[in-house]
């Protein structure tokens, strides 16, 4: 019992010796941010540093950021989720359809609960039926596509400007979009949950070393379910934010988020001495991807170069994270 506890403490907190590779990888997201600002700032100073562009950047960060918060906790629990891109669409469509017949608050609540429900379904499959989360959530993702077809034949849905969603999409607080403040609030809550509460530590322990976590009395299955429910709930919130921003939602807006969100979270992981996933790391990864995407968009670079740039980043992150994982002390 005490050996298991000390082994767990060791994986979760020991600091390794640093070397040159470490230095590069720890600063990779920072490097991306500084290089992007320098390059795009020099190329398009007028646009890049304008308040309008900074506002765009903060809005685009918001949806991606909420998803990254959820995925970070899911990956911490040792599981993957492939279903969230479809949950984004599901919550938007559910809200859009319900808003035609009811007021904003219950419609939004039901849409969020739909996301939590998908997360619960994935969680039970993964934790209690021992289904591999990667393939299992691929199946769940396809089932959600089926539900979308049932709901409205997979068509796009638009929301009225008058409702709460329209209001959030258009209004600003202190000159910054309301969507960004929602993201900031969610990030603060998830950060506090992950760092300051027992549940957060238990979730991380369940992923870091399931056997040691179980030995110290953590219900690892329940932690995995919690993580996937959080992912589903946050994906639903992200879907509502996206719906608010776009004035509606269509099925093809979901899938591109899959790759982007994984890149954000893995970029964050390379900053950690052991390649662990963390909320603070993901926030740095988010900043890097947001600045890079924004810069590439305003300099009018084609879609290919954009996908090569973000794809290369993910690959670099994965390779660097791997060299870290191998350095982790044996449990």
Partner 1 sequence: MNVEVETGSPSRDWLDDAVRRISEFGLVGLLVAVIIAFTIVSGSTFLSFDNFVGVLRAAAPVGIAAIGLTIVLAMRDFDLSIAAVASIAGVVLASAVDAGWGPLAVLLALLVAAAVGIVNGLLIAYAGTHPFITTLGMAAAVQGLVYVVTDGSIFVTASEYPLGWLNDKVIGVHMSVWLLAVLFLAAGVLMEQSPLGRQMRAIGGSREGALQAGIKVARSRALGYIFSAVFAGIAGLVIVTMQQVAQPTSGDAILLPAFAAVFLGAVAVRAIPEPNHLGTLLGMFLVALVANGLTIANASAAVQPLTQGGLLVLALAVGGARRMERAGA
Sites of contact with partner 1 (CB under 8 A): 80, 125, 129-132, 134-136, 138-150, 153-154, 258-259, 262, 266, 303-304, 307-308, 310-311, 314-315, 318-319, 322, 326
To the nearest whole angstrom, how small is the minimum distance from the Cβ of residue 26 to partner 1? 19
Considering the complex, what minimum distance in angstroms separates the CB of residue 148 from partner 1? 8
Identify the sign of the CA torsion 139, 145, 150, 151: positive
Q: Minimum distance between the CB of residue 237 and partner 1, rounded to whole angstroms?
A: 23
Residue 19 or 162: the one with the smaller Cβ distance to partner 1 is 19
Torsion of CA 193, 71, 60, 54, to 10 degrees: 50
Distance of CA 59 to the CA centre of its chain: 15
Rounded to whole angstroms, how far apart are CA atoms 17 and 230?
Answer: 35
User: Which has the closest alpha carbon to 257: 81, 25, 79, 78?
Assistant: 81
Cα torsion through 300, 301, 303, 309, rounded to 10: -140
Minimum distance from CB of 100 to partner 1 (Å)? 20
Instruction: Indicate the residue among 49 and 134 with the shorter CB distance to partner 1.
Output: 134
Which of 106/146 has CB closer to partner 1?
A: 146
Which CB atom, from 178 or from 249, has the smaller least distance to partner 1? 249
Q: For the residues of 233-258, what is the DSSP string, one character each?
A: HHHHHHHHHHHHHHTEE-GGGSTHHH
Cα dist from 200 to 189, 227, 305, whole Å: 11, 9, 38
For partner 1, the closer of residues 205 and 261 by Cβ is 261
Q: Smallest distance from the beta carbon of 209 to partner 1, in angstroms?
A: 18
């Amino acid at each position: 019992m005490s050996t298991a506890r000390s082994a767990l403490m060791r994986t979760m907190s020991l600091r390794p010796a640093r070397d040159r590779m470490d230095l590069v990888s720890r600063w990779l997201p920072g490097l991306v941010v500084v290089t992007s600002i320098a390059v795009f700032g020099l190329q398009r100073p007028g646009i890049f540093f304008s308040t309008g562009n900074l506002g765009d950047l903060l809005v685009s960060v918001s949806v991606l950021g909420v998803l990254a918060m959820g995925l970070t906790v899911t990956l911490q629990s040792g599981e993957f989720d492939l279903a969230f891109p479809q949950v984004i669409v599901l919550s938007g469509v559910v809200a859009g359809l319900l808003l035609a017949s009811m007021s904003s608050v219950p419609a939004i609540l039901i849409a969020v609960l739909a996301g939590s429900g998908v997360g619960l379904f994935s969680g039970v499959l993964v934790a209690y039926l021992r289904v591999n989360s990667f393939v299992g959530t691929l199946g769940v993702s396809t089932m959600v596509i089926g539900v979308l077809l049932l709901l409205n034949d997979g068509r796009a849905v638009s929301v009225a400007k008058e409702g709460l969603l329209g209001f959030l999409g258009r209004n600003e607080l202190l000159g910054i979009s309301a969507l960004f403040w929602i993201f900031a609030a969610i990030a603060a809550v998830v950060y506090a949950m992950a760092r300051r509460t027992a549940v957060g530590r238990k979730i991380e322990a369940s992923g870091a070393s399931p056997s040691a976590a179980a030995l110290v009395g953590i219900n690892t299955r329940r932690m995995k379910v919690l993580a996937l429910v959080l992912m589903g709930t946050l994906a639903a919130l992200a879907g509502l934010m996206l719906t608010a921003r776009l004035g509606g939602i269509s099925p093809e807006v979901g899938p591109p988020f899959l790759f982007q969100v994984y890149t954000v979270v893995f970029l964050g992981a390379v900053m950690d001495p052991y390649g662990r996933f963390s909320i603070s790391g993901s926030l740095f990864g988010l900043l890097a991807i947001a600045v890079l995407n924004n810069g590439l968009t305003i300099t009018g670079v084609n879609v290919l170069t954009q996908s090569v740039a973000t794809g290369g980043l993910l690959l670099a992150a994965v390779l660097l994270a791997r060299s870290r994982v191998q350095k982790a002390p044996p449990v």
